[in-house]
Amino acid sequence: MPPQPGHFRVFLGYCLPFVVVYLLLLVAGLWLWSGVTFWEEAEDSVHWRAQTQGTHALLQDRYATTEPAQWPALTTQLQKRFAYPLRLQTLAEATADLSTTQATALREGKHVVSRSTTSYERLHGSSQVVVLGDFLDYPEPEAPWQETAEEVVHQLMLLLNIMLAIALPLYFLVYRVWADVYALRGVARTLREGPAHAGIPPVRTRLVRPLQEALRTLSARLQVLLEGQRILSDAVAHEIRTPLARMRFGVEMLRDAGSEHEREQLLDGILGDVLRLEQLAEAGIDYSRIGRMQRIDGERIGVRALFQQLRHAACVPAAVTVTLRGTEVGVVHANRAALQLALRNLLGNALRHARSQVQLSAERSGQWLVLAVDDDGPGVDAALRERIFQPYVQLQPHDDGFGLGLAIVQVIAEKHGGHADVVDSALGGARFRILLPPAASPGSVSAGAPPPAG
């Protein structure tokens, strides 16, 4: 993939502050590490004691063969041969710089190393102490300018290596991320022309994969919305065209109506068409209102009372019997008005197609709560079972429907975290089901796969 414009600017914007912060943290860490060395003092003391033990033994012999009055002169003479300080102190002066334990050891004639940099040993038979160190305090020889320049170059190369070790991996990371983001930005722009043209490209970095999944989901939802919008516009135009044509024809007929009775019949027809248009508007508003809901507040609803209320409120034909089954399930946790609307739509649909039997039932299937409406009508062809839940789709057009009833059922089920479907019924017709998850069914655990058809 060729470099995308802007990625180097992004790299500089992120890499330079990152390198500066990294170096500051490195320096701070080294400074803290050099300051916190109390656990190393014991090891260093042992090391310096071993290094200076022989030197102190030789000094003891040299001072022992010299008169005490000549010790200051001897000390000055020996100092010229040592790279680090050598001096004599009184026992009182030496112990003032030592801890209590070290001072006691020094009085007893033992070799003591203080702060891992200074060595003490009392001269035998005297109150004088030979002090070696500070071992870190010695004059460094003045290096030629060539060596100084080499040291500077060495430090610069070390700093450059550290920066490259940070910058190169970061550059390739930024490049890969920016390339993926740039490609997905093109997808977002293409979505304005329509989700059908927006293919989601693969991405190479895990950081961008959530954005890729979000765009893929957005593209799929836009396709569904655009398809629904197309169906909606076609269906509304189709549903409105017929009543408007009848109303226009009725108005023309009113002008030529010869009798009062004929005029009343025409007015009744026009009012009927107006009522159908009002029903179409109300159904569309219900579908849109429920679809825009972010969440549905639920309550505990008794299944037996719910089914009985639906049966009593329905206009049941004389030739059809409505029975209830599974009301011992108890309660369901759902929005009462929404669930009543969904079941009322299913019951009305079943009564319209049933020959003699309709059944309302509730049951637990696995970890789902299933509310079902069965009928003994002609059923629904398997190839059309998903399509009938789309808005404004009617397999058999009828005067009191617009193809929104089952679409509203599906939306209500989805807002509760479930879904709706249709399968074959034991009565011989169709079985419409609303499958609700555990949140809608107190006492359940977690929703798994949908229950089997049938």
- 184 with 239, same domain: the answer is no
> DSSP class of residue 225?
H
- Is 42 a member of any domain? yes
Tokens of 31: 């400074």
Q: What's the order of all strands across the beta sheet hosting 112-114?
A: 86-90, 128-133, 118-122, 112-114
DSSP letters along 53-91, please? Answer: HHHHHHHHHHHHTS-GGGHHHHHHHHHTT-SS-EEEEEH
Which of 184-188, 346-350, 391-395, 418-422 is predicted least confidently? 391-395
Residue 417 sits in a domain whose CATH number is: 3.30.565.10
Q: How many domains does the chain have?
A: 4
pLDDT for res 58: 92
Placement of tokens 């041969």 in the chain: 81
DSSP letters of 120-157?
Answer: EEEPTTSSEEEEEE-TT--PPPPPPHHHHHHHHHHHHH
- Please indicate, yes or no, whether residues 344 and 413 belong to a single structural domain of this protein: yes
Check whether residue 358 and residue 427 sit in a common domain: yes
- Claim to verify: residue 394 and residue 425 sit in the same structural domain: yes
Stated pTM of the model: 0.47
| Strand spans (E) along 277-338 | 299-302, 321-325, 331-334
246 lies in the same domain as 231:
yes
Q: Is residue 249 domain-shared with residue 363, that is, in the same domain?
A: no
Residue 235 Rama label (left phi>0; alpha psi -120 to 50; beta):
alpha
Distance (Å, whole) CA 418 – CA 119: 82
**96 within some domain:** yes
In a domain, 250, yes or no: yes
Last residue of a domain, one of 243, 274, 292: 292
Residues 6+ apart with CB under 8 A from 253: 266
On the question of pLDDT at 254 being above 80, the answer is no
Q: Residue 6 is encoded by which pair of tokens?
A: 């802007």
CB 136 within 8 Å of CB 65 = no
Q: At what angle do helices 260-292 and 209-256 cross, to 10 degrees?
A: 170
- pLDDT at position 445, please? 35
Do 327 and 430 lie in a common domain? yes
Distance CA 436, CA 391 (A): 21
Q: What percent of the chain has pLDDT over 90?
A: 15
Q: Does residue 162 share a domain with residue 238? A: no
State the average pLDDT over residues 239-244: 69
Cβ atoms of 371 and 251 within 8 Å: the answer is: no
Examine residue 127 and state whether it is found in any structural domain, yes or no.
yes
Q: How far apart are the first and last CA of the chain?
A: 53
Residues spanned by the domain of 158: 7-36+141-188
Q: Tell me what the pLDDT averaged over the chain comes to.
A: 77
Among 79-88, 112-121, 193-202, the range scoring the smallest mean pLDDT is 193-202
Domain assignment present for 30: yes
DSSP E strands: which ranges in 205-320? 299-302
CA dihedral of 109, 113, 114, 117, whole degrees rounded to 10: 140
Kindly report the CATH number assigned to the domain that includes residue 253: 1.10.287.130
Alpha-carbon distance of 110 to 331, in angstroms, equals 90
- The DSSP secondary-structure symbol of 108 reads T
Same domain flag for 67 and 99: yes
The reply to whether 317 and 341 lie within a common domain is: yes
Using DSSP bridges, classify how beta strands 86-90 and 128-133 pair: parallel, antiparallel or unpaired.
Answer: antiparallel
Residue 198 belongs to some domain of the structure: no
The rounded distance, in Å, linking the Cα atoms of 407 and 394 is 11
Q: Is residue 406, in this structure, part of any structural domain at all?
A: yes
| 27: enclosing H helix or E strand | helix 7-35
In terms of domains, do 32 and 181 share one?
yes
Q: Last residue of a domain, which of 292, 308, 323? A: 292
Query: What pLDDT does 65 receive?
Result: 92
Residue 200 included in any domain? no
Is residue 230 domain-shared with residue 243, that is, in the same domain?
Answer: yes
Residue of 195, 56, 35 whose CA lies nearest to 118: 56
Distance CA 336, CA 298 (A): 7
Q: In whole angstroms, how far apart are CA 97 and each of 41, 120, 381?
A: 16, 11, 101
Last residue of a domain, one of 225, 257, 292: 292
Task: Give dist(CA 267, CA 281) in Å, integer.
Answer: 21
Q: Using the predicted structure, report yes or no on whether residue 124 has a pLDDT greater than 70.
A: yes
**What are the tens digits of pLDDT across the range 306-344?**
888 888 888 888 888 889 988 787 788 888 888 888 888
Is 223 exposed, middle or buried, given 0-12, 13-18 or 19+ CB atoms closer than 10 A? middle
368-420 pLDDT per residue, tens:
889 999 999 988 888 888 888 876 666 665 555 556 778 878 888 888 888 89
Residues in the chain: 454
Q: Are strands 357-365 and 419-424 parallel, antiparallel or unpaired?
A: unpaired
